[in-house]
Structure 1
Amino acid sequence: MSGYAKTAILLAGLTALFIVIGGALGGESGALVALLVAGGMNLFAWWTSDKVVLRMAGARPIGPADAPRLYALTEQLARRAGLPMPALYVIDEEQPNAFATGRDPANAAVAVNAGLLRHLSEEEVAGVIAHELAHIRNRDTLIMTVTATIAGAISMLAQFGFLFRGGDSRNNPFGPIGLILMLILAPLAAMLVQMAISRSREYEADRVGAEICGNPRWLASALVTLQNAARQIENHHAEANPALAHMFIINPLSGARMDNLFSTHPSTENRVRALLELAARRDGDGGIAPRPAPPRRAGGSVPSSGWR
């Protein structure tokens, strides 16, 4: 099953959960109020989140003169992906990592930790940038905003369920005990589905990113390097703002090894395995897509072995 199909099924399940819980706790009026309030909050967040997130992460904008090789590589990969050149930012953190943000491709930004350029080869950096461009092309910020809207509405229903009906549970089909359990379990269920959608989007961004950079092995190698570094090097901005953790390509807060229900990131081992399987299938079909040529800087060429 494709990542898009999984995301559609999970979104449908989240919507069904909202309808059932909304009808049980707040009736039609309560469900509508919760959806409108949550939608308004998330629409505002979606419109302004890029600036807020970049500020929270301590990111500063860079241009061609600041990082010519990174800028040239990103420009080349964006062209291969059929995207406009995103704004580039750097975060003064030694832990190698990166994330993308922005409400649409025309207003997108890619932020990389400074350590990304010091710890990864150029091919690995290409894989990471391609993954973030895949998030932009797939409009994952929009998908996660819709998900957050529905999950937020469910949480609001759980918090204010008694207010919508004045605390009267006599007409509730689940009874008073069932109502209390729903108030506790509904936000948890919504959170689990939201995290499952986040993991699904990461797998899809890996697949599309591999197509953009031209070699799944580049991204697979990058993920291993990033995961190992995340276990050893602290990301101070992410530790200070844990809400940012889900945005990074690798969880910056821990080295979780399992695809567990409470993780926003898939297991790195599973992601690498999927990428290597994709590479093997492409090799069997007669080879992978053409690789992007290493960008050249004034006065010389970039060695293909890396830029450390």
Structure 2
Amino acid sequence: MNTMRTGLLMAALMGLFLAVGYVIGREQGMVIAFIMAAGMNLFAYWNADKMVLRMYGARQVDRQSAPEFYDLIEDLARNAGLPMPKVYIIDNPQPNAFATGRNPQNAAVAATTGLLQLLSRDEIAGVMAHELAHVKNRDTLVMTMTAIIAGAISMLANFGMLFGGSRNRDNPFGAIGMILLVVLAPLAAMLVQMAISRTREYGADRGGAVISGQPLALASALAKISGAAQRIENRTAEANPATAHMFIINPLSGARMDNLFSTHPNPRNRIEALQRMDREMGGGATASQQPTGPWSSARPQAPGPWG
């Protein structure tokens, strides 16, 4: 169901992009828009993962430089039936993590030092299993493509305002219509992108809980890092908000509500879904697995094993 919904949303996003091209330049504009989208997605397919990792200053680690973390990823990848991804650590105090790569054979997972310091081993396993679920579902490629198309829609709409718009006699919308296009087209693209992102997050939560076998450990991790992410600024993410959807929790300040403009579902809803999943699996939560943070009275655990 989620796959079908994602496909329909991506089709809507691509249709919006072509429609913007048509409004600006009729058939010729639509062809140009299609060529632009194809070229940008081709570039992103081969280079987006390297660009993002470089942007965040991620350093690759191996069994010698980070034995506990590397071995944990190896165990989780084996559970998920995935090839061993490249493993990165980002020197950033905000607890967070993301996955990238065009396919499971060329995947990478990254965690911040803040995440490794804050969480217990089981919670870290839940978070990284979530990221491996993204890899297994090929969400990393889907989200890269949607971000590229959404950004291209904004660029194309502004291009049309500057160089097309009211000077194009064949344009039935005129100057007012072009102004509306510049405002509404990027907004619509953003809403579709957010819907795709939130759909994939729920799917990765479920997949991560299966891979790690501990839904409540992931729920506890979400509670902890969502609260910390609101207090600790991620300056790189703030400077590059188009990458926010990649993280397990929105890294941008002020994103505290499950609204139309959030790249992620409300953490409360995700935690409740994981708690239901644990009950369905017949799990019995221990005190250390109970979610902590703004939605729980459970006592916080000690800093993570690699903090």
Give the shorter-chain TM-score range. Answer: 0.7 to 0.9
Task: State how far apart, in whole Å, the 2-side matches of 1:98 and 1:137 are.
Answer: 16
Q: Specify the SS of the correspondent of 2:140.
A: helix
* 8 Å CA contact 2:131, 2:204 repeated in 1: yes
2:105 is aligned to 106
- Which sits farther off after the overlay, 165-174 or 114-123? 165-174
How far is the alpha carbon of 1:255 from its aligned partner?
A: 5.1
Task: State how far apart, in whole Å, the 2-side matches of 1:41 and 1:18 are.
Answer: 13
Percent identity over the alignment is 61
Task: State how far apart, in whole Å, the 2-side matches of 1:282 and 1:14 are.
Answer: 36
| Equivalent runs, 1:200-219 vs 2, <5 Å | 200-219=199-218
How far is the alpha carbon of 1:236 from its aligned partner?
A: 4.1
- Which sits farther off after the overlay, 147-156 or 186-195? 147-156
- Which sits farther off after the overlay, 6-15 or 73-82? 6-15
- Which sits farther off after the overlay, 75-84 or 197-206? 197-206
- What amino acid maps onto 2:221 in structure 1? A
Deviations 1:120-174 (A, max 9, x none): 1111001000011011111112212332344344334423336886845554454
Deviations 1:42-80 (A, max 9, x none): 321331122221121111111111221211111011011
Relative distance call for 1:232 and 1:21 in structure 2 (3 A) is closer
* 8 Å CA contact 1:169, 1:179 repeated in 2: no
Relative distance call for 1:205 and 1:148 in structure 2 (3 A) is same
Deviations 1:109-130 (A, max 9, x none): 1111112222111110010000
2:222 is aligned to 223
Relative distance call for 1:178 and 1:244 in structure 2 (3 A) is closer
How far is the alpha carbon of 1:218 from its aligned partner?
A: 1.4
- Which sits farther off after the overlay, 15-24 or 124-133? 15-24
2:195 is aligned to 196
Relative distance call for 1:128 and 1:24 in structure 2 (3 A) is same
Deviations 1:82-117 (A, max 9, x none): 111111111122222111111211111111111222
Relative distance call for 1:122 and 1:183 in structure 2 (3 A) is same
* 8 Å CA contact 1:26, 1:164 repeated in 2: no
Task: State how far apart, in whole Å, the 1-side matches of 2:148 and 2:232 are.
Answer: 34
* 8 Å CA contact 2:92, 2:113 repeated in 1: yes
TM value normalised by structure 2: 0.84
Gaps of 5+ in 2: 285-302
Relative distance call for 1:18 and 1:117 in structure 2 (3 A) is closer
Task: State how far apart, in whole Å, the 2-side matches of 1:146 and 1:119 are.
Answer: 32
Matching of residue 12 in structure 1 with residue 11 in structure 2: yes
* 8 Å CA contact 1:216, 1:276 repeated in 2: yes
Q: Specify the SS of the correspondent of 1:259.
A: coil
| Equivalent runs, 1:257-276 vs 2, <5 Å | 257-276=256-275
Matching of residue 186 in structure 1 with residue 160 in structure 2: no
Count of residues in Structure 1 that have an aligned counterpart in Structure 2: 288
Q: Specify the SS of the correspondent of 1:88.
A: strand
Q: Specify the SS of the correspondent of 2:281.
A: helix
* 8 Å CA contact 2:117, 2:304 repeated in 1: no
Task: State how far apart, in whole Å, the 2-side matches of 1:239 and 1:24 are.
Answer: 33
1:87 is aligned to 86
1:291 is aligned to none
* 8 Å CA contact 2:48, 2:144 repeated in 1: no
| Equivalent runs, 1:51-90 vs 2, <5 Å | 51-90=50-89
Q: Specify the SS of the correspondent of 1:26.
A: helix
1:144 is aligned to 143
Relative distance call for 1:127 and 1:101 in structure 2 (3 A) is same
Q: Specify the SS of the correspondent of 2:89.
A: strand
Q: Specify the SS of the correspondent of 1:127.
A: helix
Task: State how far apart, in whole Å, the 1-side matches of 2:231 and 2:30 are.
Answer: 45
